[in-house]
């Protein structure tokens, strides 16, 4: 077997891989958007929910009207009592307006997105398509928060600067499983974002997930080693076949 030819072949393969990698780095878009996506099933303290329910009952017109009438001792007339009840209810009307009639209990599905621009140029016109309408909070790269007053199924961010990030919180009143299965789409002027969805693992699955990168590298090296051994065996087989042929020719 000619080891010099084997060495030259391997060197040629390595040089070709380096050239391909360099070409890819030169041609790829230097504005790269990555998105970390986490779904959560939210649980709020039951004490809070009970307080919201009790407060809502206490603010009903009939109860407030009777309390005000009993305190006044019948001195105040109906129109004045009606105005007092309306004045007492006013600060809470906005608090319990849609979609918060029952407080936070109707928004138990959360979606948290971290958008990172790993490139050296800004990412423009970032568009997020949500699986359902939800309440949205956006924090830009400068740390400024924007709250959308009404539920929406899409989020638009004008730009994310180079090596910067933005965060988005969405709260849904839908079922966790359905929303997680529907997924989310994130794109920008340069194309689609690379979306990384986080999941929870336990036991052996957690171990494999934790060392996924190391296992993948080991698998690649194993495949390369097997391929190299196979190539060497093939060369040895060919060299042995040539040697046997030459020996047979000499005998003749």
Phi (first) and psi of residue 205, to 5 degrees:
-60, -40
Characterize the bridge pairing of strands 152-160 and 33-41. unpaired
Helices (H), the chain: 3-27, 46-58, 61-72, 78-93, 176-182, 204-210, 212-251
228 C-beta neighbours (distance < 10 Å), count: 13
**More confidently predicted of 225 and 170:** 170
The band of 249, judged by pLDDT with boundaries at 50, 70 and 90, is low
| Closest to 131 measured CA to CA, from 149, 118, 113 | 113
CA–CA gap between residue 96 and residue 50 (Å, rounded): 14
Q: What is the mean pLDDT of residues 129-136?
A: 94
- pLDDT over 80 at 12, yes or no: no
The number of residues making up the chain comes to: 252
Max mean pLDDT among 50-54, 113-117, 193-197, 207-211 falls in 113-117
Instruction: Please report the pLDDT score of residue 5 as a whole number.
Output: 54
Q: What is the DSSP letter of 148?
A: -
Do 39 and 180 touch, CB atoms closer than 8 A? yes
Position 165 pLDDT exceeds 70: yes
Q: Which of helix, strand or coil describes residue 97? A: coil
Backbone angles phi and psi of 116, in degrees to 5: -120, 130
3-state DSSP call for residue 192?
A: strand
Is residue 3 predicted with pLDDT exceeding 50? no
What pLDDT shows up at residue 199? 67
Q: How confident is the model at residue 161 (pLDDT cuts 50, 70, 90)?
A: very high
Asked whether the beta carbons of 148 and 130 are under 8 A apart, the reply is: no
């Amino acid at each position: 077997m000619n080891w010099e030819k084997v060495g030259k072949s391997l060197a040629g393969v390595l040089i070709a891989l380096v050239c391909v990698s360099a070409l890819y780095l030169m041609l790829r878009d230097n504005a790269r958007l990555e998105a970390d996506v986490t779904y959560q099933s939210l649980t709020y303290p039951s004490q809070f929910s009970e307080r919201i329910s009790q407060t809502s009952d206490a603010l009903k017109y009939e109860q407030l009207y009777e309390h005000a009438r009993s305190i006044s001792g019948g001195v105040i007339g109906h129109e004045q009592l009606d105005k007092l009840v309306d004045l007492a209810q006013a600060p809470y009307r906005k608090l319990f307006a849609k979609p918060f009639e029952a407080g936070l209990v109707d928004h138990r599905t959360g979606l948290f997105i971290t958008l990172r621009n790993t490139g050296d140029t800004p990412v423009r016109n970032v568009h997020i398509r949500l699986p359902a309408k939800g309440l949205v909070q956006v924090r830009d790269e400068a740390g400024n928060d924007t709250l959308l007053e009404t539920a929406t199924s899409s989020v638009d961010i004008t730009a994310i600067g180079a090596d910067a990030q933005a965060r988005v919180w969405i709260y849904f009143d839908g079922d966790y499983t359905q929303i997680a299965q529907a997924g989310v789409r994130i794109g920008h002027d340069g194309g689609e974002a690379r979306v990384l969805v986080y999941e929870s693992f336990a036991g052996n699955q957690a171990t494999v997930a934790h060392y996924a990168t190391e296992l993948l590298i080991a698998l690649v090296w194993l495949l390369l080693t097997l391929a190299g051994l196979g190539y060497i065996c093939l060369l040895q087989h060919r060299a042995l076949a040539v040697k046997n042929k030459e020996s047979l020719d000499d005998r003749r």
